[in-house]
Amino acid sequence: MNNNSANKIILEIRAGAGGDEAAIFAGDLVRMYQRFAQKKNWKFSVIDANQTSLEGYKTFVALIEGLNVYEELKNESGVHRVQRIPKTEKSGRIHTSTASVAIVPKVETQEIQINPVDLEISFFRSSGPGGQNVNKVETAVRILHKPTGVVVSSQEGRSQSANREQAMGVLNSKLYEAMQQQQASSISALRKEQIGSADRSEKIRTYNFPDDRITDHRLNIKTHNIEKVLDGNLDILLDKIKK
């Protein structure tokens, strides 16, 4: 990986087990990384987002650019678990939900060759919260890489060409990462290796609201101030992990 790709990453967040609450938690993680990027003076650009009506996301993809961003965030990849009483819960029961995070270095187009014949490109109208179509024009782009089955999409750009360029950038990075792992035949194996099945049991970190405690299970590191960390003060945890 060259220095340039160490300074650009694709952040992908997906709601896992837990329905609406998992999507809300995915939204919390989106805001955490967005605010953390602001504090670091990194550039944060949304590429694709499938938003739910409750300030949550089923899926969210962004490009983050900044000095050593990959080094700072590479250990965020994996399943994040939350334990709390959801806003949607009437009886006050604590629920456990998950969201998965993937951090992939962004590679330059010339680092990987993609045969145009291998691509199936389709266009659609970009959608807002609740799935309603926002644009009357089909500016959003979805690209399928047929040999690997990788699907990427971009709908936040203003034009079809801008979205196509963004989607190709994400595709390049995913295929490069798969190639690095010698799994170009199947990106899903790479994602599964990084994320697991997004099951509640395969977790790297738990955010326990009743006890105001975040536990990183890989190093058994604990910290408090969940609200502060989710508000973008991720250094509180990352500094402990680095040590």
**Quick check: 128 pLDDT over 50?**
yes
Residue of 111 and 65 predicted with greater confidence: 65
- Rounded CA-CA distance 165/29 in Å is 26
What is the predicted pLDDT for the residue at 3? 56
Interval 135-186: pLDDT, tens: 667 889 999 999 888 899 998 888 889 999 889 988 988 888 777 665 444 4
Q: Residue 239 belongs to what H/E stretch?
A: helix 235-242
Mean pLDDT of the chain: 84
In terms of phi and psi (left: phi > 0; alpha: psi -120 to 50; beta: otherwise), the region of 69 is: alpha
Write down the pLDDT at residue 125: 84
For the chain, which residues make up each domain, given as ranges? 3-107+194-242, 110-187
DSSP string across 110-175: GGS---GGGEEEEEE--B-GGG-B--SS--EEEEEETTTTEEEEE-SSSSHHHHHHHHHHHHHHHH
Single-letter code of the amino acid located at 64: I
Residues 210-226, mean pLDDT to the nearest whole number: 93
Higher pLDDT pick, 94 / 191 = 94
The CATH classification of domain 3-107+194-242, taken from the options 3.40.190.10, 1.10.1200.10, 3.30.70.1660, 3.40.718.10: 3.30.70.1660
For the domain made up of 110-187, give the CATH fold: Double Stranded RNA Binding Domain (3.30.160)
For residue 202, what pLDDT is reported? 67
pTM equals 0.72
Residue 83: per-residue pLDDT: 95
The share of the chain scoring above pLDDT 70, in percent, equals 83
- Alpha-carbon gap, residue 154 to 134, rounded angstroms: 14
pLDDT for 178 = 74
